[in-house]
Chain A
Amino acid sequence: MGSIEANGKTYETDEEGYLADLNSWDKDVAEVMAKIDDCELTDNHWEVINFLREYYEEYQIAPAVRVLTKAIGKKLGKDKGNSKYLYELFPYGPAKQACKYAGLPKPTGCV
């Protein structure tokens, strides 16, 4: 177990930095998590993060990369629904890294 400080609040995380409690998530902790990885969150990042939160809300799972890519393409357009675009935004892996900022558990099947 670890923890992250953001805006005077403490957020519990697991040993890999994923939030322990999905409901404790807010935008502040996402910003701080990104800063730790040297990543500045733009509107394009937020689009994906918000998409993941909505997907989890509906299906109770974080989607696999292949599923995420296809679903993003359908929702936000083909120019965004490809791994090149998503890996540019999230170089540590779109599913893994974006899920972390979105406060979700690590995607099922991710090692």
Chain B
Amino acid sequence: MAMLHVVNKSPYDACNLNTASSIMKEGDQLLLIEDGVYGAMKNAKAESLLNGLKVSVLGPDLAARGISQDKLVDGIDVVDYAGFVDLVEANDKVQSWL
């Protein structure tokens, strides 16, 4: 019963990423969108929250914020809107941490 966890807030402005990453179970996936994409940046304080997680991030939201691929934590999957839909389909449930 895999779950897709969606986070749309900056990890420095809200504790959503903190909660999501600590509640995620084996096989669950994390998708970062909107201001949540800041959580995907490397050399940053929130970076360690992603340790051991399967993480995707929405490309158009990265581009809007001027975050290039080389700024991302290694192993993160960048998806477009179609990829967002695929993730929703591939998981049994979606949990949006608003």
Q: Do chains A and B touch in the complex (CB under 8 A)?
A: no
